[in-house]
């Protein structure tokens, strides 16, 4: 395996001409292919590769000997050697590409977009005074005047005169020089203008040019970008421009311009301040050229191109982006603000609708969550470049945080208040997917996801444990009927053991268990198992135990809801009713019109009921009770047992030792 370094991202890969597994870029243009050969063990030592890799990842200017580039270009002219160098085969590239995009076909590559021929006639470079008059940066004033007169015969006279004025005026000339091809020989500049007209995209393969001249050529080529270009290609083109802009040096530009002025006879530019002012304007032009090109794409392609460009150049938001990228994102943020605000409002409305519908059950909430996820994806798709840029800059994107936490709040409430585990998990997973650029959000939501997963696992174990009840989510089955646990209003459970004797000798014991459920609609069901019969059925023992545990499970998950039923009565009436009694908090229990004050009465607990007596209960009272035909003052505790003892403790101050 040949060790190589990716010319785009600087990370190690296998073979110089293969696709990079880190950034998914494959060298295709001649300049990229030659550079890739240099960035491999074929032409460089391991030490050199380490240095070059560092320079690429740090976006520094590569220091590559011209001799190595010449060797690389010679190798590219040998078909046999080229085949050997690319011996990782097309099959490997295809597999790598498949891994990079497993769910969708990759957009067409840069090479196929670049090979599409197109013409360009009115770019800014072609409108430059040097191009209009057909003169060079080394022509003197006399030559410029002559050309202006000659060109006036075939072109617009005023345009020629303006071009002449721009090139002969020292103040205006600097703008024209910097917008042209400083540092490029006149012959080469003429060739580039010709190529710009016939095949502008081929200029992207040029290398070894002065940075400013290279940028002016690429900015002109950007004017040829149209809706038929692939988003990956446009994204790569943007990155090429961004790295070059960061490499601009005012000192180098000043030297290139003054070298040509020394030949043309125009006075040298003395201060670097003028150059820096012009560079600032040119950077604005580059940004606008890219923006105009993006606006010629479809809205979907525009968003995708921006996302890919920012994602790749920041390594997923982990590294600072070049200045041009940050400025593009700032402009993109302003232009998409209206859309993002509108979608954010839709997200908040759907969240509120889901909250309002939660009382109606999961079937009512699920379609709302479906819509919420779709809108959240749309919002995040457009916000992706902004999120990545914010992460790379180390700042927060407040709208993303607001939406992420709003969705998280809904997920928490759906579970905590309505026990909708599935919908809560769906929303949590969506947050994890869409907001990976927000470290604080990711950390909290990962904790949520872990907790929900543990709960889901626990519920799966519960479902397996209560297999006989076909427990699934909030539903269970009994004798072919399906019941919703969320609609359980009251729970009653009774379990007893009967001892059997013959001639005063114990012959055995049988057990019985009954579970009574009352639902919101008034429906009741009774689930019971009894070992007693003509023949004792000891096989019921496990079923009775399962029923007891099922009762415990139902009691636990419906406890809060059943407590609220009685608490609501207290809030509304000042007391709650239960088993023919009215309970006045901290005051009394009224049984059949008779008051039993909490402070002056005794409450005796026995299995399944509580008997009420006055504290000075004596033998006479006992006799009266035994001969009385009226009901003993007591109330059953079989129904909602857990809730009733909770209320007696909380509101009446009544507790019993276990």
Task: List pLDDT tens digits, range 170-222.
Answer: 888 999 999 999 999 999 999 999 998 888 988 888 888 999 999 999 999 99
* Domain stops at, among 264, 297, 330: 297
Nearest-CA neighbor of 380 among 402, 395, 365? 402
Higher pLDDT, 569 or 625: 569
User: Alpha-carbon distance 598 to 618, whole Å?
Assistant: 18
121 in any annotated domain = no
220 with 266, same domain: the answer is yes
* Domain stops at, among 416, 443, 464: 464
| Model confidence at 454: pLDDT above 90 | no
Q: Which of the four pLDDT bands, split at 50, 70 and 90, describes residue 10?
A: confident
Q: Which of the four pLDDT bands, split at 50, 70 and 90, describes residue 53?
A: confident
165 with 274, same domain: the answer is yes
588 with 516, same domain: the answer is no
Strand order in the sheet with 601-606: 601-606, 609-614, 634-636
Using the structure block, give the residue that is written with the tokens 């053991």: 497
Across residues 515-537, what is the average pLDDT? Answer: 81
166 with 285, same domain: the answer is yes
Instruction: Give percent of the chain above pLDDT 90.
Output: 49
153 with 232, same domain: the answer is yes
Which of 242-256, 473-487, 500-514 has the lowest average pLDDT?
500-514
Nearest-CA neighbor of 249 among 222, 218, 272? 272
The reported pLDDT for the residue numbered 626 is 64
Q: Which of the four pLDDT bands, split at 50, 70 and 90, describes residue 533?
A: low
Q: Distance between alpha carbon 581 and the CA centroid of its chain, in Å?
A: 56
| Model confidence at 458: pLDDT above 70 | no
177 with 269, same domain: the answer is yes
Tokens of 606: 């026995």
Domain holding 370, by residue range, is 339-464
The reported pLDDT for the residue numbered 475 is 85
638 in any annotated domain = yes
265 with 346, same domain: the answer is no
Task: Give tens-digit pLDDT for 214-230.
Answer: 999 999 999 999 988 99
261 with 375, same domain: the answer is no
The reported pLDDT for the residue numbered 546 is 85
179 in any annotated domain = yes
Which of 82-91, 256-265, 571-580 has the lowest average pLDDT?
82-91
314 in any annotated domain = no
Is residue 431 within 8 Å of 441, Cβ to Cβ?
yes
* Domain stops at, among 436, 464, 492: 464
The reported pLDDT for the residue numbered 369 is 94
| Model confidence at 69: pLDDT above 90 | no
124 in any annotated domain = no
Residue 117, classed as helix, strand or coil, is coil
356 with 454, same domain: the answer is yes
Q: Return contacts of 301-304, CB within 8 angstroms, 24+ apart.
A: 301/227, 301/231, 301/234, 303/381, 303/382, 303/384, 303/385, 304/231, 304/235
530 in any annotated domain = yes
Q: Which positions ≥6 away from 176 have C-beta within 8 Å? A: 128, 129, 130, 166, 167
User: Alpha-carbon distance 310 to 307, whole Å?
Assistant: 5
User: Alpha-carbon distance 427 to 627, whole Å?
Assistant: 66
Tokens of 480: 């072919």
User: Alpha-carbon distance 46 to 42, whole Å?
Assistant: 10
154 with 264, same domain: the answer is yes
255 in any annotated domain = yes
547 with 584, same domain: the answer is no
146 with 88, same domain: the answer is no
402 in any annotated domain = yes
Is residue 291 within 8 Å of 328, Cβ to Cβ?
yes
- If one counts the domains in the chain, the total is 5
Start-end of H helices in 105-225: 110-115, 129-133, 141-152, 157-168, 170-178, 186-198, 211-222
């Amino acid at each position: 395996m040949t060790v190589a370094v990716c010319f785009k991202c600087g990370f190690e890969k296998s073979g110089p001409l293969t696709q990079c597994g880190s950034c998914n870029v494959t060298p295709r243009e001649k300049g990229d292919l030659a550079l890739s050969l240099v960035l491999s063990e074929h032409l460089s030592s391991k030490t050199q590769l380490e240095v070059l890799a560092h320079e690429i990842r740090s976006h520094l200017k590569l220091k590559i000997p011209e001799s190595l580039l010449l060797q690389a270009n010679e190798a590219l002219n040998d078909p046999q050697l080229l085949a050997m160098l690319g011996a990782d085969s097309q099959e490997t590239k295809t597999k790598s590409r498949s891994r990079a995009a497993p769910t969708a076909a990759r957009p067409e590559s840069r090479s196929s977009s670049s090979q599409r021929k197109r013409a360009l006639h009115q770019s800014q470079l072609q409108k430059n005074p040097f191009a209009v008059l057909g003169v060079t940066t080394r022509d003197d004033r006399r030559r410029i005047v002559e050309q202006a007169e000659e060109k006036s015969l075939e072109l617009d006279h005023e345009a020629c005169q303006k071009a002449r004025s721009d090139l002969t005026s020292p103040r205006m000339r600097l703008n024209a020089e910097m917008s042209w091809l400083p540092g490029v020989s006149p012959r080469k500049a003429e060739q580039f203008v010709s190529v710009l007209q016939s095949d502008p995209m081929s200029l992207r393969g040029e290398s070894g040019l002065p940075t400013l001249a290279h940028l002016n050529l690429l900015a002109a080529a950007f004017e040829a970008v149209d809706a038929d270009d692939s988003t990956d290609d446009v994204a790569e083109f943007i990155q090429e421009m961004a790295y070059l802009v960061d490499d601009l040096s005012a000192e180098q530009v000043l030297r290139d311009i003054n070298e040509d002025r020394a030949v043309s006879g125009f006075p040298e530019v003395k201060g670097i301040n003028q150059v820096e002012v012009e560079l600032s304007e040119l950077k604005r032009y580059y940004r606008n050229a890219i923006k105009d090109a993006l606006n010629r794409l479809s809205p979907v392609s525009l968003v995708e191109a921006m996302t890919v460009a920012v994602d790749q150049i920041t390594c997923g938001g982990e590294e600072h982006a070049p200045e041009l990228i940050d400025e593009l994102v700032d402009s993109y943020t302003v232009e998409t603000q209206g859309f993002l605000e509108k979608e954010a409002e839709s997200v908040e409305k759907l969240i509120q609708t889901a909250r309002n519908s939660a009382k109606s059950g999961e079937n009512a909430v699920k379609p709302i969550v479906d819509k919420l996820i779709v809108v959240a994806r749309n919002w995040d798709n457009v916000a992706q470049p902004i999120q990545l840029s914010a992460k790379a800059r180390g700042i927060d994107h407040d709208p993303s945080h607001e939406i992420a936490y709003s969705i998280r709040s809904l997920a928490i409430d759906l579970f905590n208040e309505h026990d909708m585990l599935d919908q809560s998990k769906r929303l949590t997973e969506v947050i994890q997917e869409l907001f990976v650029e927000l470290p604080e959000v990711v950390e909290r939501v990962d904790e949520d996801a872990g907790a929900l997963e543990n709960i889901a696992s626990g519920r799966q174990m519960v479902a397996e444990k209560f297999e006989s009840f076909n427990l699934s989510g909030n539903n269970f089955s009994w004798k072919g009927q399906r019941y919703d646990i969320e609609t359980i209003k009251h729970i009653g459970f009774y379990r007893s053991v009967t001892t059997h004797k013959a001639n005063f000798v114990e012959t055995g014991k049988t057990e019985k268990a009954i579970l009574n459920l009352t639902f919101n609609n008034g429906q009741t069901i009774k689930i019971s198992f009894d070992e007693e019969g003509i023949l004792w059925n000891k096989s019921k023992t496990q079923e009775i135990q399962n029923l007891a545990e099922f009762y415990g499970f139902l009691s636990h998950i419906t406890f809060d809801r059943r407590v609220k039923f009685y608490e609501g009565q207290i809030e509304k009436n000042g007391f709650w009713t239960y088993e023919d009694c009215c309970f006045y908090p901290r005051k009394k229990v009224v049984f059949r019109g008779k008051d039993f004050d909490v402070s002056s009465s005794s409450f005796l607990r026995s299995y399944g009921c509580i008997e009420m007596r006055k504290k000075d209960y004596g033998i006479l009272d006992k006799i009266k009770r035994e001969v009385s035909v009226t009901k003993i003052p007591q109330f059953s505790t079989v129904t909602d047992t857990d809730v009733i003892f909770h209320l007696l403790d909380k509101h009446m101050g009544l507790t019993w030792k276990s």
